[in-house]
Amino acid sequence: MRLSLFAPKPDPDHIEVGHGDRSFKVAVRRRASARRFTLRVSTASGEVVLTLPERADLKAARLFAEAHGGWIAARLAKRPDGVAFAAGAMVPLRGVPHRIVHWSTVRGVTKAAEDRDGHPIIAVSGDSAHVGRRVTDFLKREALKDLTVSVDHHTRTLGIPARKIAVRDTASRWGSCSAKGHLSFSWRLILAPPLVLDYLAAHEVAHLKEMNHSHRFWALTHRLCPRTEEAEAWLKRHGAGLHRYG
3-class SS string, 61-75: HHHHHHHCHHHHHHH
> Bigger pLDDT: 220 or 79?
220
Query: CA-to-CA distance for 236 and 50, rounded, in angstroms?
Result: 25
Please say if the pLDDT value at position 171 is more than 90. Answer: no
Mean pLDDT score of the chain: 93
Share above pLDDT 90 across residues of the chain, in percent, rounded to a whole number: 84
Each residue's pLDDT tens digit, 40-90: 998 777 889 999 999 999 999 999 999 999 999 998 888 878 899 999 999
Assign 165 a pLDDT band (cuts: 50, 70, 90).
Answer: very high
Domain annotation for the chain: domains and CATH numbers: 2-77 (no CATH), 90-244 (3.30.2010.10)
3-class SS string, the chain: CHHHHCCCCCCCCEEEEEECCEEEEEEEEEECCCCCCEEEECCCCCCEEEEEECCCCHHHHHHHHHHCHHHHHHHHHCCCCCECCCCCCEEEECCEEEEEEEEECCCCCCEEEECCCCCEEEEEECCHHHHHHHHHHHHHHHHHHHHHHHHHHHHHHHCCCCCEEEEECCCCCCEEECCCCEEEEEHHHHHCCHHHHHHHHHHHHHHCCCCCCCHHHHHHHHHHCCCHHHHHHHHHHHHHHHHHEC
Each residue's pLDDT tens digit, 84-122: 999 999 999 999 999 999 988 777 899 999 999 999 999
Please say if the pLDDT value at position 138 is more than 90. Answer: yes
Burial 180-209 (b: 16+ CB within 10 A, else e): eeebbbbbbbbbbbebbbbbbbbbbbbbbe
